[in-house]
Amino acid sequence: MTKKLEIGKLYRYPEYHLMVYPSIQIAVRAGRVQPAPAPTLRDASWRAHYWSKRLNCTVRYSEPNEIFMVVDHEKEKDDTDFYHVIFGEIQGWMIVDDCMKIEKTL
């Protein structure tokens, strides 16, 4: 189970692709419908395309094991955790569920 991620620390998610939304508002909208990470590259690509078109923005995704840094954290009224993250040159907001096995790196 994932504990609260710390700002300024590095992490990785070895299991799936994480969806990265350009703003917390867009992450909240998408998260109400489809909060889970994408299990395959095909699924991640489809979700990014779908949400980019539907929400008129650019939604991206990470690769499994890609290292990211947490730069901010927001919690919604329903206790959903949203993290502002940086994956190399990509930055945005992702949804983190308690059951996700996100690992802290050195």
Is the model's pLDDT at 20 over the cut of 90? yes
| Range(s) of the domain holding residue 25 | 10-104
So what's the pLDDT on residue 30? 82
pTM, entire model: 0.87
Q: Calculate the CA 68 to chain-centre distance.
A: 10
Query: What total of structural domains would you count in the chain?
Result: 1
Provide the CB-side half-sphere exposure for 97 (13 A, CA). 11
Which residues does residue 78 pair with via DSSP β-bridges, in sequence order?
Answer: none
- Backbone φ and ψ for 104, nearest 5 degrees, come out as -80, 140
Residues 43-81 have pLDDT tens digits of: 999 989 998 998 899 999 999 999 999 999 998 877 888
Q: Indicate the average pLDDT of the chain.
A: 88
Does the residue 4 lie in any domain?
no
Does the residue 1 lie in any domain?
no
Does the residue 2 lie in any domain?
no
So what's the pLDDT on residue 4? 85
